[in-house]
Amino acid sequence: MASARLFFAADFQDLQGRAPAEVKERGSFVALSEDEGKSWRFKKLPGTLPHENPKNLGGATTLGYSAARQAPNGMIHLITTMNNPCLHLEFNEAWILSATTPIRAQATRSGCAPTRLGSLPLRRPR
């Protein structure tokens, strides 16, 4: 990331729907680390969709094979696959770090049109 933080996006569960005992969430998340991965700030992603094969993930939503990139304006673009339609989610680091409850995203039926999840002013660490 432009801030030098590490970014991570994943599902809470594996393909069979299993998760570590301490993980109570289902679905997908994004996370940032300010200490080279020693600790992470997680945010559950709203609006993700189930796997295209309903038998996978125990019915939970997924990012599938995903790709992410931060644009010059600081917005992070996350593209999902293995769901229909694929999703293009857009948010910034400040949204991930904020305490706000994730808003509900709207999936588009026309393909990977961006869904803006959150954009807050980014305060750079001093």
Q: What is the pLDDT of residue 116?
A: 57
Task: Report pLDDT for 47.
Answer: 84
* DSSP line for 49-93: EE-SSTTGGGG-EE--S-EEEE-TTS-EEEE--SSSS--EEEE-H
CB-based burial label for 2 (10 Å; 0-12, 13-18, 19+) = middle
The encoded tokens of residue 125 equal 């660490």
Q: Please give the model's pTM, rounded to 2 decimal places.
A: 0.78
pLDDT the model gives residue 104: 46
Instruction: Tell me the C-alpha distance between 69 and 67, whole Å.
Output: 7
> What was the pLDDT predicted at 106?
42
Supply the pLDDT for residue 112: 46
Please give the pLDDT value at position 51.
86
Sequence-distant (≥ 6) Cβ neighbours of residue 118 within 8 angstroms:
91, 92, 94, 95, 98, 100, 102, 103
Using 70 as the pLDDT threshold, list the residues of the chain that sit under it.
100-126
